Structure 1
């Protein structure tokens, strides 16, 4: 197949210094601190950052206490915003709070579910209801070793490498803000070529465009692309295509929690229910159910039920049991129908909120690390939803 016949698919990633990602990390750092002192804290925290100011808003129900302004400053300085010269200073910026108590009606609906109140269920996993209505999706594909779409997997590798070179001091003139975009050429569902790579990185003003482009091409793009094994003979690269990028972070562009949900998930290769993850405790099914569905989809693909699989689940607020589930294998399923795949998943995976929390051990301070470089496809301690520990159960339930 010629390059002109390939289907081009693009995804982007951003570094931890991107304004929106700063806000995600602040929100999740607050969540982590609360879970460390109260594993049952109910938290919905949003952060906005702009020139010289960080504002944290939301609702919290907890028996513990954390010093939120100090958490904000620690996150921002840890990212590398320690001076007005780099666009923001976490040590001197203003920090304001508008935090209230969570609605008692929402709290009661979560803690005493519809099944317990209306149906009299005594099943322990029926006692906690979903924190909201909504639809969530999970996805997996065998096109990469991490069961992630190739474009977003490569985009995350590029931004992590960019940040790593900055933190290590190998490229000390890099600054925290940056992003990458990757376009992959697909032959059907198989990635074949790296068509285009775009990298934009904030930098020290003394560096020339030529110096920046040479270093980023040699130390960031080329190693990542080579490791992919894809054909890059016709690859086009654009490094800081807008020219200079000395001003970055919240000093030049406001940031907001939850504004990079496609970066957080599958890069556009799968649906997203709309709900953001960061700042929400795991009783919120926006977060926990999306993790559970990734867990189910990944184990199902690894078990051979399909080459690609997307799962959707729907909840009603205050109700423990999902109100709907479907699976879509995009024609790659091996069980005769996608309905049969859905039946197998429902047999193996309990998607009631309390069951998810227990199985994936989600009431722990693990979330700040999820808030940059994607929530999925990372083999890291605490990312329990990435474990391939249900493959045999899935195969047995499917009769494979």
Structure 2
């Protein structure tokens, strides 16, 4: 897509999400048992194709790149969309594409695209350590069928998923297995989290039947998929940070104190300007990460998007920048609103909670700082 087409895409998605995910709907979903509405998700998938944006057209997807999907995630972050977008489009689809398993593509991608199937990816153990690095889940065999035993934690939309993709460490490297959520030996426990707009779960396996996806060592595919997911999460954070700043600025125009709008005070202007720098820096980092993700999935994209750093580096940069910006702007949004910003009725706290929990997902900024240093040292750039 060129810039004009991308702008039109943003406008279309924003219009749809404004109608389908207003504050009242977000609060209703927060209070519901599932945390999201299946009918709304089906509309988003079948009318806008949100879950299948990066899926090839032959499987029912849109055939777009991570650049376009990043724009979708940015708009979803603006409305605090309560739906399994990160689990499906951000995690499951990139992993399935990276694995390159044609049979798995036929089995899962069409259902993901039309919204009838929810697939998520387990990324950490119950202590938050990466499953690619620790052997939290063990593989065995029963009557010739692979079975998994162990536990994973903080699974995004784990309670809503029909299928969970689980990376398992083996002697040959990493293998990815698909486990049906209703299979025998699978126990799903919803977690109580700070952010009620995005549900997480703990999943235990006790000789749960599983199906291996792909062949050989899947470590590279898993790392690529996680970095693409980080790029999409960064875009979502940038969108959330932007709307928090807009909320604060709008309040500054209407709140009058000492006979003047508070937005006319120098202290307010200086704070808003500082926050704008953080928001724009975060957006730039997120866009660069989305472009790098597009190249990682489609080498031909490198012709259109030359000179990008590799995905691992730019994804970590985006996660650091967007995490810090979102938390800072969401916190200042509460402060700039004064007393009303601390009330349950105001939406400021919803963004603040999303900002903090997003910061912890797929690696905290401190972890990405260490990872970035290691990557740059490895490449001889430090």
Q: Structure 1 length normalisation: TM-score?
A: 0.28
- The structure whose residues are more often strand, as a share, is 1
Q: Structure 2 length normalisation: TM-score?
A: 0.29
Looking at both structures, which has the greater relative contact order when contacts are Cα pairs under 8 Å and sequence separation is at least 6?
1
Decide which structure has the larger Cα Rg and report it.
Answer: 1
